[in-house]
Structure 1
């Protein structure tokens, strides 16, 4: 079955993890399981969900998983209509989305799988290293007309700004709009180059002098040689995005939780879905690290395990 390939940068880490799990006897039981699993949603969570499939394939080759990346909103549309079994999400499900699920008798369980540091990136040669939260809001707010870096700060270069970002179906877009900009419209400015493919955004920013955009930390890590990450000053000085600053609560307000949502009926009634989900959560810390995300704390992981165990009980 055709599946989307994840970044080549993850291949060595996933291969090493597969060897480690084999040596340790890790992984959920279910080597004889078979069937199909449909996953779609956040492009940010995509590397984790696809890495989980690649690893599971080593011990359960009969389980075939398709992992799409249509964005968190697009993923929930498919999930709540019953088209998919699992939905990747870089934000919690919205009330209106949950209502669609309820209308279609789709009961679900939310499982936090990692933490991410939403990263503001810029062209490698841009002479700007840090933005305050207020400057970030001024730049991306729904009524913004800022089109030159000097408009944000007189010390910034007199250079035209070119903006790149995820489309409105993206949970990353929703997070910036609702949780960072926090405008009642829950939107950002519209005059930017939009794509649900983070690699397109990477190419846009890296190839455009004065360019800037935002996406998950993994995509910056993979392209750090061609981009620069801007530190964020939320009132306590400039803080760079990293696993350490996000987990320590220092990288505010751009650290965020990442989720998968599992269709309860599919989990209890489809051997393949249960096998994939159980394997994913059992090996969550290793998968998160392999995909360059920030693993859950012990308390967060215990909550995720408890939520999984509660399906069907």
Structure 2
């Protein structure tokens, strides 16, 4: 009898242990599935810690648009890829307008933009069923530059810049701009018409009259080509984002601009406080809402906004206030 009771006790204890083990396995299996299904959709906030396989991201996030925003997005893409090695993030530079054309055609997930989306571009996106989220990422100071060899320009007024660049201008030499300048031909360099920098300069300096298009001016969507053009001509002048001046200070000289309150040069402080007027501007990325449903895109957008303030200073731009980044991050949720 004692042996039978002992055997029964052991048997019952074994059954309890087996049942507990089965329940534990069932719970673990369900937790793993939940983590896998919700990766990206809940941004890895499942109750149980997901496995490494569950949170591993892959795929491709195509980005194109502004050459001004390119250094910011490239920096974010490179750092993001260090954490998510199976996600490809190619970044193109077709200009803000070129980026929006691809974006509204559903060809890219994110558009870099150095200006807000235009009404006709927004309409094109709406007609194509593309809904999007606009995210502010940094400030820029559109910089007017001349060669380091230029020894006669100490500043230019908005009116003088208008006289040089506006469509229909008959200005040919620097002396035509200001009597004290030399009678040497002006060589101009400008971003192309698909560039948001072109649009911003046209609006802020030329009052939307348009930029001249004659043999005295060269256009390029590649800001590095503009840098080389201006640097190589003592009598050249051009304009582009502050980061490209910062990177090439050894061969370029920035021109302080007088917008009516005295000549002010672009610096981190004058861009951030808006005193570098009228050429301080915000920069943006536009993210397709449909693409945001992909976990890798949502995670990249979150990473971008969380880290771009740090990257901005590293690549020559001015970060937004922390509270604004918090506002932008809330849009992604």
Q: What TM-score comes out, normalization by structure 1 length? A: 0.86
Residues 226-279 of structure 1 deviation map (CA, whole Å, 9 limit, x = unaligned): 0111000111211111111111111000001100000001002x1221121111
Task: Tell me which residue corresponds to 1:189.
Answer: 212
Query: CA separation in 2, counterparts of 1:264 and 1:182?
Result: 34
Distance 1:31 1:281, change over 3 A: farther
- Would the aligned equivalents of 2:60 and 2:89 in 1 still touch at CA under 8 Å? yes
* Gapped regions of structure 1 (runs ≥ 5): 1-27
- Would the aligned equivalents of 2:306 and 2:325 in 1 still touch at CA under 8 Å? no
> 1:106 offset after TM fit, Å?
0.4
Query: CA separation in 2, counterparts of 1:308 and 1:144?
Result: 46
Does structure 1 residue 62 correspond to structure 2 residue 97? no
Deviation beyond 3 Å, 4+ runs, structure 1: 28-31
Distance 1:178 1:158, change over 3 A: same
Moved more, 50-59 or 35-44: 50-59
Give the counterpart of 2:137 among 103, 113, 135.
Answer: 113
- Would the aligned equivalents of 2:134 and 2:286 in 1 still touch at CA under 8 Å? yes
Name the SS for the 1:172 alignment partner.
helix
Give the counterpart of 1:253 among 247, 256, 278.
Answer: 278
> 1:298 offset after TM fit, Å?
3.3
Task: Tell me which residue corresponds to 2:72.
Answer: 48
Q: What TM-score comes out, normalization by structure 2 length? A: 0.81
Q: What do you get for the CA RMSD once the two structures are aligned?
A: 1.4
Count of aligned positions: 279
- Would the aligned equivalents of 1:243 and 1:294 in 2 still touch at CA under 8 Å? yes
Task: Tell me which residue corresponds to 1:5.
Answer: none
Query: CA separation in 2, counterparts of 1:292 and 1:120?
Result: 15
* Gapped regions of structure 2 (runs ≥ 5): 1-42, 45-53
Task: Tell me which residue corresponds to 2:266.
Answer: 241
- Would the aligned equivalents of 1:44 and 1:216 in 2 still touch at CA under 8 Å? yes
Structure of larger gyration radius: 2
- Higher relative contact order, structure no. (Cα contacts within 8 Å, ≥ 6 residues apart): 1
Aligned ranges for residues 116-265 of structure 1 at < 5 Å?
A: 116-126=140-150, 127-183=152-208, 185=209, 187-191=210-214, 192-265=217-290
